[in-house]
């Protein structure tokens, strides 16, 4: 799993607005297991910083990460709820749209064009 410039800068912008951003990776061993997968590896993007741009997390099927940075990743679904509950931010629709625009603009980082690429296996 790669954490691109867009993801890191977008997460930092959303954090300033009180919006938690969490990444999830299903621990499926094949394409066919995805629909039934109940095991996930989660990443609290608030833990990442600009030094982590283009960080590759090499994850095996059991969710073990080679050279894992401390505190970035977890398997506990309860922690997902805790991260969401940390933020008691409520938006009306207009404020929400403005927040999305701000996050999108900030996620451009250095201004270079970057295409999102999702890697998978079959």
* pLDDT exceeds cutoff 60 at 122: no
Q: From the CB of residue 21, how many other CB atoms can be counted at a distance below 10 Å? A: 19
For position 78, what pLDDT does the model report? 92
Residue 44 burial class via C-beta count within 10 angstroms: exposed 0-12, middle 13-18, buried 19 and up: buried
pLDDT (tens digit per residue) in 2-49: 888 888 888 888 888 888 888 888 888 888 888 888 888 899 888 888
pLDDT (tens digit per residue) in 55-89: 888 887 777 787 777 778 888 889 988 888 887 67
pTM summary value:
0.71
* pLDDT exceeds cutoff 50 at 121: no
For position 49, what pLDDT does the model report? 86
Strand locations in 2-106 (E) = 2-3, 22-26, 40-44, 55-56, 73-74
For position 85, what pLDDT does the model report? 85
């Amino acid at each position: 799993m790669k954490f691109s410039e867009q993801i890191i800068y977008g997460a930092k912008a959303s954090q300033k607005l009180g919006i938690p951003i969490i990444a999830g990776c299903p621990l499926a061993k094949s394409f066919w297991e995805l629909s039934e997968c109940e095991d996930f590896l989660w990443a609290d993007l608030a833990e990442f910083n600009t030094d982590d741009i283009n960080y590759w997390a090499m994850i095996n099927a059991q969710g073990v990460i080679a050279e894992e940075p401390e505190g970035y990743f977890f398997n506990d679904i309860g922690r997902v709820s805790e991260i969401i509950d940390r933020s008691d931010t409520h938006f009306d629709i207009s404020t929400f749209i403005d927040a999305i625009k701000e996050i999108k603009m900030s996620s451009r980082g250095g201004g270079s064009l970057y295409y999102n690429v999702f890697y998978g296996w079959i």
